[in-house]
Structure 1
C-alpha cells in the first residue's frame, strides 16, 4: 500500500515538475544564463550567444513612444551578439495609455488602471527599419495555473503571443513565473526571469525571429 501511494506521488510530481523534459523544455534547447553584477559594475546578463548592456535610466528615443504621456520607470539598454546591436526601451504604463491602439481582447478588456510593461525593440541587422513592441500585463496565479495569455510581441506584419505559467514552481503561486513565446501555434522560446533565470530557444525558430525574441527575453531579464 505504501509503495503504491509512493508511486502515485512520483507520477503526480513528474506530471508537474517533469515539464522541463517536454517539447521546448529539453536540455539541448536551454541556453546558459550568466548574471554579472559586481560591487563596482552595473548588472549585465549573458544568455546563449547574446549579451545585454547595463540599464540606462530614461528613454533614448522619446518620439517613438510619444503616445505614452506618463511613462513610469523608463530605461533602455543594448543587446549584442550574432552581429546584432539592438536598442531596447522599456517602461511601465497604465492600460489607458493604449486606448488608441488595437489590442487583443485579453489585454483590451483589462481595467483602465491596469499596469502594463511596454518594450520597444529596434530593428535587426537584416531588417533595421522594422520595429517591434512587447505589451505585457500582470497575471494572476490562477491564470498562471492554466498558462493563460499574458502579452503580445508584434511588428506591423508579425505577431507572437506570450503566455505565462508556474509549472516550474508551486501551483497557486507566483513562484518561478515562466513566459512562453508562441508563433504559428508553436512554442518557440521561454524565459524564467528573477534571481535564478533560465532561457529556452527552439531549434526550429525562424532565423530572422531569433534576435527579436532574444531582445524581448533580455527585457524580461533586466526589468
Structure 2
C-alpha cells in the first residue's frame, strides 16, 4: 500500500479521535443511552437520568401552537427525570407558517415551502412559566461536513444555537447526524440521532436551569 495513502488514513483517524476526545466529547461527559422497545411496550429512550415517554400522536396543547397552520406529523412526549416531567410537542410545518416569527437569517432565507421541525418545550420545575421552542431545518451533507447552523433553541429572553455535523459517520453522508447546542462559543450538549444514539452534556450544566431544557430538546430529537 502506498505510503501517502497510509499517511492519509492515519491523519483521518487521528483527526476523528482528536475531535471525539476534545472539549465536550469525553467519556466523563457522555450519558449512557438505552432503548426500550419490547413486544408489548411502546418505544422509550433513557439517557443519563432522563427518560422519554412513548410517542402520542397529535398536539397536546393546540392553543400553544395555534399560529402554525396545517401541521405535519404532530406528536408529543414527556421527558421525565430529576423531579421533572416536561411536556414536549413536535410538529413539522412549512416555513411560511412562521411568517409571524422572527427567525435567524439562515432560516428566514429558506423557501416558503421548506419544512421545519418545531419543538415546543413546556416550563421546568424551577421555571414553570418559561416555555422554549426549537426550530430546525433539514441540513444537507455539505452543511453537515462543516457543522453549519441547523436551528435555534430559544425562550423569550435566552437563545441557544444548534448546529449539525456528521463527524461520527462518513463524510458526505447523513450517517450518525450529531446536533450540537452552543451557548456563545461553547458547546454545552450534543446528541447523535438514529439507530445508535449517543448523548453528551457538559459538566458545567450541572445545577443550571438550562439542563432540563436541553434534556427535553435531546429527548425530542431522539424519538423524532
* Shorter-normalised TM range: over 0.9
Match of 1:218 in 2: 219
Equivalenced residue count is 223
Match of 2:133 in 1: 133
Taking structure 1 as the reference length, what is the TM-score of the superposition?
0.96
In 2, Cα distance between the equivalents of 1:32 and 1:150?
Answer: 25
Contact 1:33-1:48 within 8 A present in 2 as well: yes
Match of 1:124 in 2: 124
Taking structure 2 as the reference length, what is the TM-score of the superposition?
0.96
- Flag structure 1 segments of 5+ consecutive residues without an equivalent: none
Match of 1:87 in 2: 87
Q: What SS class does the counterpart of residue 204 from structure 1 fall into? A: helix
In 1, Cα distance between the equivalents of 2:155 and 2:71?
Answer: 21
- Structure 1 residue 10: Cα displacement: 1.1
Match of 2:30 in 1: 30
Q: What SS class does the counterpart of residue 16 from structure 2 fall into? A: helix
Runs of 4+ in 1 over 6 A off after TM superposition: none
Q: What SS class does the counterpart of residue 118 from structure 1 fall into? A: strand
- Structure 1 residue 18: Cα displacement: 3.9
- Structure 1 residue 20: Cα displacement: 1.2
Match of 2:99 in 1: 99
1:169-222 C-alpha deviation (Å, 9 max, x unpaired): 111111111000001221000001111100000011261111000000000001
- Structure 1 residue 81: Cα displacement: 0.4
